[in-house]
Amino acid sequence: MNEEPKTDYAIKLDIFEGPLDLLLYLIKKNQIDIYNIPIALITRQYLDYLNLIKSLNLDLAGEYLVMASTLIHIKSRLLLPVPDEPSPEELEDDPRSELVRQLLEHQAFKEAADLLTQRPILERDVFKRAAALPEEKHPSGAEDEELVEASIFELIEAFHQIVSRLDQKELLEIDLEKLSLSDIINDVMERLTREKNLTFDELLGEKRERRRIVYTFLALLELIRLKMIKAYQTAAFGVIRIFPAVEL
């Protein structure tokens, strides 16, 4: 039986994003009206993401689990039967209202922070958002597309898509290749020095064993945490490319 490889390496997810960021990501992905959130759908997808995060041995902050409980509580309240003659307070009381207020407030702060990060900083030597991808690296007509920094959840989505394409047959697999996270990190930086930018698929090459995919993904997260690389995509939920944070 081909079991998921174990690793004692853990990354704290709270250094990247928070539970409200995950909810905003799911709302954007599903093209949902933030004022009319389908709690059942969002709760299911939120829990799916938490299971995927835990399977990667990422250390979940407690606030993610608190939000999961909050979503389940809201869902249970929405399932309660409405009285035949509800009071005006019961008609106006939407269990989602407090969550919507938090999301709108958090979104406003995120947008303000994004505007601040776009302002020029003296002697700042980082990859600019508006830079075009090399001609041979993008499809025709994408030269003028603006690059948008990818979130941790978009990286997880890309990882999940690659893993889901693997052969699902349960085989006894003997893997003699010794992998270490530090070796994968060094390999990623060496390749970025040569290639300047790479997709997750290109980083993997022909080696699509589950263990290597997991280690490569963890290496990317650690390099992002260390501010050595940045992940960008040309459009919402488009192909993600990895760039060095500074010119190499």
131 with 244, same domain: the answer is yes
Q: What is the pTM of this model?
A: 0.71
17 with 52, same domain: the answer is yes
Give me the pLDDT at residue 185, please.
92
110 with 145, same domain: the answer is no
**Do the domain assignments include residue 24?**
yes
Give me the pLDDT at residue 151, please.
83
**Do the domain assignments include residue 72?**
yes
**Do the domain assignments include residue 3?**
no
How far is C-alpha 45 from the chain's CA centre?
Answer: 13
C-alpha to C-alpha distances, 195 to 81, 106, 112, 129, 158, nearest whole angstrom: 59, 37, 34, 18, 20
| Beta bridge partner(s), residue 12 | 59
User: What secondary structure does DSSP assign to the chain, as a single string?
Assistant: --PPPP-----BGGGT--HHHHHHHHHHHTT--TTS--HHHHHHHHHHHHHHHHHTT-B--HHHHHHHHHHHHHHHHHTSPPPSS--HHHHH--TTHHHHHHHHHHHHHHHHHHHHHTS--TT-----TTPPPPGGGS-TT-TTPPPEEPPHHHHHHHHHHHHHTS--------------HHHHHHHHHHHHHHHS-EEHHHHHTT---HHHHHHHHHHHHHHHHTTSEEEEESSTT--EEEEESS--
Give me the pLDDT at residue 22, please.
92
107 with 169, same domain: the answer is no
Residue 10 has a CB neighbour count (10 Å cut-off) of 12
The pLDDT profile of the chain, 248 residues, written as one tens digit per residue, is 444 444 445 555 555 678 999 999 999 989 999 999 999 999 999 999 998 888 777 777 788 899 999 999 999 988 887 666 666 665 567 889 999 999 999 999 888 877 776 666 544 445 454 444 444 444 333 445 567 888 888 888 888 888 887 755 544 454 556 778 888 999 999 999 998 888 888 888 776 778 888 888 889 988 988 889 988 887 666 788 899 987 65
**Phi, psi (5° rounding) for residue 218?**
-65, -35
Q: Domain of residue 104: give its range.
A: 10-119
C-alpha to C-alpha distances, 80 to 93, 154, 237, nearest whole angstrom: 13, 34, 36
> Which of 119, 154, 181 is the endpoint of a domain?
119
**Phi, psi (5° rounding) for residue 232?**
-130, 155
73 with 147, same domain: the answer is no
Q: What does the block give as tokens for 129?
A: 């958002």
95 with 159, same domain: the answer is no
Counting the structural domains of the chain, the total is 2
Give me the pLDDT at residue 37, please.
92
42 with 144, same domain: the answer is no
Give me the pLDDT at residue 152, please.
85
- HSE-CB at 148 with a 13 A cutoff on CA atoms is 14
Q: What's at 26, amino acid-wise?
A: L
Calpha distance 187→191 (Å, rounded): 6
Calpha distance 77→27 (Å, rounded): 20
Give me the pLDDT at residue 113, please.
76
> Which of 103, 119, 135 is the endpoint of a domain?
119
**Do the domain assignments include residue 92?**
yes
> Which of 119, 149, 179 is the endpoint of a domain?
119
**Do the domain assignments include residue 2?**
no
98 with 193, same domain: the answer is no
Calpha distance 171→176 (Å, rounded): 15
Can you give the CATH number for the domain in which 231 is found?
A: 1.10.10.580
104 with 192, same domain: the answer is no
**Do the domain assignments include residue 168?**
yes
